[in-house]
Structures are given as structure tokens and as C-alpha cells.
Structure 1
């Protein structure tokens, strides 16, 4: 049991440091490029994880940025400051208006086709009622 505890602690430290390194924004990484830090933490679990915690991330800069944000009911939550989008297309008035315009266009097109079909049928009926050259017997 005592042999397992250090291994589990090392594994936990390594996973935490690796995930922290991957998710840290580029502007908060110090001394080396982020890719180099990821490789160091990945290939040298103990030394790389400790080095990342000590020298890799600019933790003071992150705190300074948080303090300098404006105060108020939405301070620190930019998603509340953005215009909200409807959650579903059925809730979007622009989407519903475009569907209505499309339906109206299709209904107009269908009415034109029906009128054209009636006109052609009427022309065919009128053409059958009058005796024409096609009606004479050949012989």
C-alpha cells in the first residue's frame, strides 16, 4: 500500500500538470513556447510537472487581469454581455420569416403552374372540339 501512494500521487500530478499546460492560453505561458512545455511535461513526468508548476505558467498575470476587469453584475462573464441568440430555430423570428417568405413563393409558383395547366388543358379541349386536319381519315 505504501508503494502505491507515491505512484498515484505522481500520476495525479502529471495528469493535472499536463491538462493545465494544454488548457493554459499562450499569453500566460512563460519562458518557453507552449508546445515545448507540453513535450517536457509529457516526456518527463516528475521534473516536467514540477517545472511547469514553478516556472511555466504566469499565475500572477492572470490574477492581475481578473482584478482589472470592470465591476458590475456581469463583470468577468463576457457571455452575458454578448447578444443572445435563440436556442432553437423555432424561436428565431428571422428564420420563421424566411420560412414564411419561402412558403409564399412556393404557393405563388404552384398557382402559376396550376393556371398554366388549366390553360393548356383548355387549349387541348378547344383543339379537339374543332375538326382539324388530323381528324380526317387517310386513304
Structure 2
């Protein structure tokens, strides 16, 4: 009896920890992932049950086909917990962002080089 309870608890804890770690931050509710992991580690049974009950974001149930008049059809719900659709960026947009980042860092390096030259000139002028 105790061995079965211990085995079920161990599976529950491991399942909760794996689920917490593999989830994206947007799919975790109420607390940060680190706090959920600590909760499951220090309060195994309560933490695991709370994780599966309130901590994780479950996908919205799929709409089933209904045989009704078209006027009765409703759009899927978009509640506060529903994730907004994320726009996928194209390769060209990614490359343009990388080009801007490279240009920014090149400008920063140029500024540092000019500042070093200026500091050197000031030092030489102060020595004379």
C-alpha cells in the first residue's frame, strides 16, 4: 500500500517537474517557473497537485462540429488567459534586424576608438 502511494507520488513529482521545466514562461500561470519548481521540491504532493490544478496553461478545447443553423455558430473564446497569436517573422526581417545590430556594434566600436584617440591627444597635449 505504502509502496504504491510512494510510487504514484514519485511519478507525480517527476511529471510536475518535467512539465514545469519544459513549459515556456507564457504557459505558466500565477507564479514564476522557479517558484513552482521550489514548491514541488519542498512540498511535493501539494506542490504537484497545485501545479496541475492552477499553475499550468491548458490549451483551449477544440471546437466540435455542430449541426445547427449558421446563426448559432460562435467564434472560439478569447478570454484573458488565451494566448494572442504571435506573428512569425520572415527571414528577411530577421536578416534586417541582424544588419541593424551589426551596424550598431560597429558604430559603438568606432565611437570607442575615436574616444581613445581623443584621450590620447589630450594626454599628449597635457604633457607638452
Structure with the bigger percentage of helix:
1
Structure of higher CA gyration radius: 1
TM superposition score normalised by structure 2: 0.46
